Amino acid sequence: MYKIATIPGDGTGPEVTDEALKVLEAVAKKDSIEYQLTHYDFGGDRYLKTGEVLPEGAVDELSQYNAIYLGAVGHPEVAPGILEKGLLLELRFQLDQYVNLRPVTLYPGVETPLVGKGPEDIDFVVVRENTEDMYCGIGGFVRKGTADEIATQTAIYTRKGCERIIRYAFEYTRKRDNPKGKRLTLVAKTNVLTFGHDLLWRTFQDVATEYSDVEADYNHVDACCMWMVKNPEYYDVIVTTNMFGDIITDLGAMIQGGMGVAAGGNINPELGGTSMFECMGGSAPKYTGQNVINPIAAIAAMAMLLDQGGHWSSANKITEAIKVVTGTKMKSQSAGRMGYTTSEIGDLVAELVR
Ligand code: IPM
Ligand code: MN
């Protein structure tokens, strides 16, 4: 029995979650997967009512599930940072989801702003470290509010943290087995961040010796942004830090057709670890309740959830169905211009999966 906690969240989160669950139901029936869903109402509305983002004991409770499925968090009446920190980052940290896996895949029929590039060119995966760097919240103010104010925001890198993400990325590259060749590119800024990224670089070199079948490659982050636009076909798998990963994956989302198609997983790959899957688009308050938002990212996140749970062929069925729908049905990936409603897209994918 596969136990899944769902947090549909705010705005359009519940709408896209419904479509992902529709597709899960279809594939589970087809492949005889037994699963159990428990819904949690965490998000902006609950916070406005109760004053708390995650109630006492919630993290422990969530850690009992095989996986968490997250719709979206973000509420126009809640100050920025509260839900992000209190829910998303809290769960990533507390559940030690140290891998943020973000595939950059251009599905057939999806428009990319990169002229002349197609699905065969835009197909790589970013392995973003998810628990260290500037995200730890270490820092403070001195003489706050005065002309002499000092603020610090410390980036943390540990040998263990570097090693586990790099090892995961090498394993991932090995398994991905790209016909174009296995290449893992470390993306960092060793020419300026001469302490933290030196540790990262040395760790990368050490771990690379165990993976002679994978090309160990390096790009500075600024150059990486350039290559992602100019020659995205160069990349197979990228491993990078939390902050750089945050930034380059938004660029990645754009070249793969936008936030409506970009999915990600916050993964704790250890035995018994609880991973959390989400679409990268936010809660899109202005489209809430209109049945116009694109659920493809949410459905792709469900495929990632199944893949992480070892249901590879079911995950694959969903991905193939997505490709048919984007390639032969949808007019656009933008909300309101897809040629179908949110729920119709869900129906199309579910039908193909069956
Ligand atoms: C993401 C988001 C989060 C991040 C925010 C909402 C805290 O941008 O998942 O990429 O910075 O990691
Ligand atoms: Mn981001």
How does 298-317 read in b/e, with b if 16+ C-beta sit within 10 Å?
bbbbbbbbbbbbebeebbeb
The protein residue whose alpha carbon is closest to atom 5 in ligand 1 is 84
Compute, in angstroms, the gap from residue 102 CA to the centroid of ligand 2.
11
Residues 191 and 64 occupy one common structural domain = no
Residues 197 and 311 occupy one common structural domain = no
The protein residue whose alpha carbon is closest to atom 12 in ligand 1 is 246
Other Cβ atoms within 10 Å of 114 Cβ, number: 18
Please tell me the predicted confidence (pLDDT) of residue 289.
95
The protein residue whose alpha carbon is closest to atom 1 in ligand 1 is 246
Residues 177 and 230 occupy one common structural domain = yes
Please tell me the predicted confidence (pLDDT) of residue 262.
97
Tell which of 239, 256, 273 closes a domain.
256
Residues 116 and 225 occupy one common structural domain = yes
Atom of ligand 1 nearest to the CA of 100: 9
Best residue among 53, 70, 88 to mutate for probing ligand 1's pocket (most ligand atoms within 8 Å of CB) is 88
Q: Which of 199, 245, 252, 190 is nearest to 220 (CA)?
A: 190
- CA distance readout (Å), 85 to 76, 237, 310, 342: 16, 28, 30, 29
Residues 152 and 248 occupy one common structural domain = yes
Residues 116 and 239 occupy one common structural domain = yes
Task: Say how many domains are in the chain.
Answer: 2
Please tell me the predicted confidence (pLDDT) of residue 177.
84
The protein residue whose alpha carbon is closest to atom 2 in ligand 1 is 246
Please tell me the predicted confidence (pLDDT) of residue 281.
86
Please tell me the predicted confidence (pLDDT) of residue 40.
98
Is residue 185 within 8 Å of residue 233, measured between CB atoms?
no
Helix, strand, coil percentages (3-state) for the chain, rounded to 5, are: 40, 20, 35
Tell which of 236, 256, 276 closes a domain.
256
**Is there an atom of ligand 1 within 6 Å of 84 CB?**
yes
156 three-class SS: strand
Residues 1 and 34 occupy one common structural domain = yes
Please tell me the predicted confidence (pLDDT) of residue 90.
97
Residues 236 and 138 occupy one common structural domain = yes
Residues 252 and 271 occupy one common structural domain = no
d(CA 342, CA 329) in angstroms, rounded, equals 13
Tell which of 256, 285, 316 closes a domain.
256
Ligand number, closest to the Cα atom of 91? 1
Q: Give the CATH number of the domain where residue 24 resides.
A: 3.40.718.10
Tens-binned pLDDT, residue by residue, of the chain (354 aa): 999 999 999 999 999 999 999 999 999 999 999 999 999 999 999 999 999 999 999 999 999 999 999 999 999 999 999 999 999 999 999 999 999 999 999 999 999 999 999 999 999 999 999 999 999 999 999 999 999 999 999 999 999 999 999 999 999 999 998 999 999 999 999 999 999 999 999 999 999 999 999 999 999 999 999 999 999 999 999 999 999 999 999 999 999 999 999 999 999 999 999 999 999 888 999 999 999 999 999 999 999 999 999 999 999 999 999 999 999 999 999 999 999 999 999 999 999 999
Please tell me the predicted confidence (pLDDT) of residue 294.
97
Is residue 114 within 8 Å of residue 254, measured between CB atoms?
no
Q: Which amino acid is at 169?
A: A
128: β partners: 100, 240
CA dihedral 14, 17, 23, 25 (to 10 degrees): -80
Strand ranges (E), the chain = 2-9, 35-39, 67-72, 99-105, 123-129, 133-142, 150-156, 183-188, 215-220, 237-240, 263-267, 275-279
351: containing domain: 1-110+260-354
**Is there an atom of ligand 1 within 6 Å of 90 CB?**
no
104 three-class SS: strand
Residues 354 and 279 occupy one common structural domain = yes
Structural tokens at position 266 = 């916050």
Residues 92 and 143 occupy one common structural domain = no
**Is there an atom of ligand 1 within 6 Å of 246 CB?**
yes
Residues 135 and 43 occupy one common structural domain = no
How does 196-211 read in b/e, with b if 16+ C-beta sit within 10 Å?
bbebbbebbeebbeeb
